[in-house]
């Protein structure tokens, strides 16, 4: 099953990062990649001027670099996480 670029998908990513104890902030910034990750503070800053597609792609790009214990995720979040890692996003 693949995901679509929808506000519901963005909300699922926000909830996933919340369970991973990461804070997602949408702010103005001059990021070359559209985002910045502060690993020590567990904060990911996404450029607020990105489109919905850009925000979701930034969160997907960040996901492999985030260190956390997968067993702490709820069943629904774990399934979503595994699906993201296994399948690309449909445009």
Give the count of alpha carbons within 13 A of 14, CB side only. Answer: 12
Higher pLDDT, 31 or 5: 5
Please state, in angstroms and as integers, the Cα–Cα distance from residue 46 to each residue in 2, 18, 26, 55, 70, following that order.
Answer: 23, 15, 5, 7, 23
H-type helices in 23-66, by residue range?
52-62
Binned at pLDDT 50, 70 and 90, residue 1 comes out as low
Tell how strand 43-47 and strand 35-38 pair up.
antiparallel
User: Whole-model pTM?
Assistant: 0.85
Q: pLDDT value at position 75?
A: 93
Please calculate the CA angle 89-35-73 and round it to the nearest 5 degrees: 60
pLDDT tens, residue by residue, 28-37: 877 777 888 8
């Amino acid at each position: 099953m693949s995901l679509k670029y929808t506000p519901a998908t963005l909300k699922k990513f926000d909830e996933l990062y919340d369970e991973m104890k990461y804070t997602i902030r949408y702010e103005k910034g001059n990021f070359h990649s559209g985002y910045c990750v502060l690993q020590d503070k567990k904060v990911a800053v996404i450029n607020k001027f990105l489109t919905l597609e850009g925000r979701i792609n930034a969160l997907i790009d960040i996901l492999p670099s985030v260190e956390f214990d997968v067993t702490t995720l709820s069943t629904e979040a774990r399934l979503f996480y595994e699906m993201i890692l296994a399948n690309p996003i449909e445009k």
